[in-house]
Structure 1
Amino acid sequence: MPRASSLADRLFWPIVAGGVASLWLGPGALAAAGLVVLGLVAHRLGRGGRFRRRVRAIAHRHRETLALRRRQESYVDPYGNEILDGWLRERTYFAERTVLPRLEAEGYGDLIESRWDEILSLVEAASLSVAAPDETEALPEDGLAYERYCAALLERAGWEARTTRAAGDQGADVVAERDGVRLVLQCKRYAKPVGNGAVQEVVAARSYWSADRAAVVSNAGFTPAARKLAAATDVLLLHHDALLELGARRGGRQR
């Protein structure tokens, strides 16, 4: 990456040119050069503010997705602590893949390293700027009730959904159909991120039920191992909030 010009670099030639011109053209040329110098100084000093506004605008454009991902990647452990590890990884991913390329393309690449914490702070603010959905009922505490809760969310989204029997479900807690597409779900009401065992189970369920799509649904996020396996097996990893907007489009590989 080429070295960004410093303020001194930008001012050097206008000052030199103004000084030389004043020898022939008098004080007017020196005054004009002074105005140019002042303009460059003002522009440079305002660069930090423009940088912040640009980051804020990029994050604001994605605020609803960021808010949803924050909810999906956070959970409360049995001791009442809010665990944000998954969300912090997601926040960094967004900053690196979405914010940084735009900043570099717009000439702010030299500010990224020194203002990295500021970038993350602005992304965090955007994720908190959208109010969480108003849940009219408490999240079910036991697994079977959570399965019924997920099936009900799918029904609201236009699916015909039913829970399976506890025995003989072959890894599917919920089977749903819509527009000729069959979906199988593994539903995990956990106090910690879901591992790749749930992904393995729903892959088997997809084959057993001859389903087009398969997903693991949880309130507590997913481990890196689960995400890697889901990406390799074309399994959706979802927070239960996402069920309300889940369409019947086939596919949907997760990163």
Structure 2
Amino acid sequence: MQFIVGFLVLVVLLGSSAGMGFFNALTFGIFLIIAISVIAIVMIHNNNKQMIAVIETEGGRLVEEHLSALVRRYRQLVRTDDYGLVETKAWDKERAHFFNNVIIPSLPAKSGWENLQSHFNEKVLDPKVYSAFERQRQSFASNFDPDIAPIDYEHFCAERLRQLGWKAEVTKSAGDQGADIIATKEDDVMVVQCKRYAKAVGNKAIQEIVGALRFYDAAYALVIATNGYTKAARALADVNDVILIHHDDLVDTWKPY
């Protein structure tokens, strides 16, 4: 405001010294301020349009380049709590990390990119990641990879359970109380452990799922493993009513009883 007043005073003084009347000089000064403001707004708008075009093009290219990793992180970090609410805090932090450490360093050196993070997330990152996640989710359960990561194996098993009508949610890695998946169907609750092991599963998994059975007050305890179970594990499972299966057992006719 002080700058505008000062500018008008200067214009009036210069105009008066050039023979312009006070009101004519004042009117001319106001006209100059409006013209300069309009030019500045147009320049800022055009600059923003250029920056948006760059971040959509270059950002989109980088999202495509890292899409597999982004989908994997989305799958690992987004959870649904006991009330059916989606927890995205960890995913929001991951998006910020990707924007600040992958996207911005690839853009021309200039200020203002940080102001476009929300636009980048909403218009570029999220649509690509969500679309790829949904495509992967739909085909996940029918495409087992022997080299699948343990966390991905949990999501693989959860998707197979969903195909059987269960609402299956992968738990957080910390504080899961021995359950990798909590599955519900009508009034039934089932706790699940998923073991992508190169060898037979032993007693520890049985002990953990029995603890989860009690903690979650579940009706069923299930262990899914890629390479079978030891004799001791089967014996312990028998006395604790723990169901032991391979993921290929999760077909249309499978039931936990």
TM-score bucket (shorter structure) = 0.3 to 0.5
Higher relative contact order (CA 8 A, sep 6+): 1
Task: Give the TM-score, by structure 2 length.
Answer: 0.43
**Which of the two has greater helix per residue?**
2
Larger radius of gyration: 2
Q: Could you tell me the TM-score, scaled by structure 1's length? A: 0.43
